């Protein structure tokens, strides 16, 4: 149960969540303004995690006043998906692209779309 502070004090948390996945861990995100690397990583990793752990992972989507919309990949605490996402964090800290082929296809498709019209 959240605690409520008087309006004159700084709130401990500035976000309220009322969805089905309360307490799940936010592991990855993207927004309308994400660059190609962030979009590719989100698509590639989310797809693989949701396929491998359908009961332990979920995508949450919401509108956001500053960036239009955001999406987050959530994983259930204590599930095997947590370890996989922790491993992904270590990999991305070393090399920022999750899958070069996926990234190159995304870039090519977007450039092709820019040429149309």
pLDDT digits (tens, 9 = 90+) for 105-116: 999 999 987 655
Average of pLDDT values for 85-103?
96
Domain boundaries, given as residue ranges, for the chain: 25-115
At 64 the pLDDT is: 76
The whole-angstrom separation of Cα 95 and Cα 102 is 15
pLDDT tens column, 14-48: 556 677 898 899 999 999 999 999 999 999 999 99
């Amino acid at each position: 149960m959240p605690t409520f502070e008087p309006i004159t004090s700084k709130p401990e948390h500035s976000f309220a969540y009322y969805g089905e996945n309360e307490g799940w861990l936010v592991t990855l995100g993207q927004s309308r303004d994400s660059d190609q690397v962030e979009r590719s990583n989100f698509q590639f990793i989310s797809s693989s995690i949701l396929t491998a752990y359908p009961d332990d992972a979920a995508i949450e989507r919401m509108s956001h006043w500053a960036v239009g919309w955001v999406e987050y990949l959530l994983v259930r605490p204590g599930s095997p998906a947590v370890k996989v996402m922790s491993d992904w964090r270590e990999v991305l800290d070393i090399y920022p692209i999750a899958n070069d082929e996926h990234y190159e296809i995304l870039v090519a498709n977007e450039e092709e779309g820019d040429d149309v019209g």
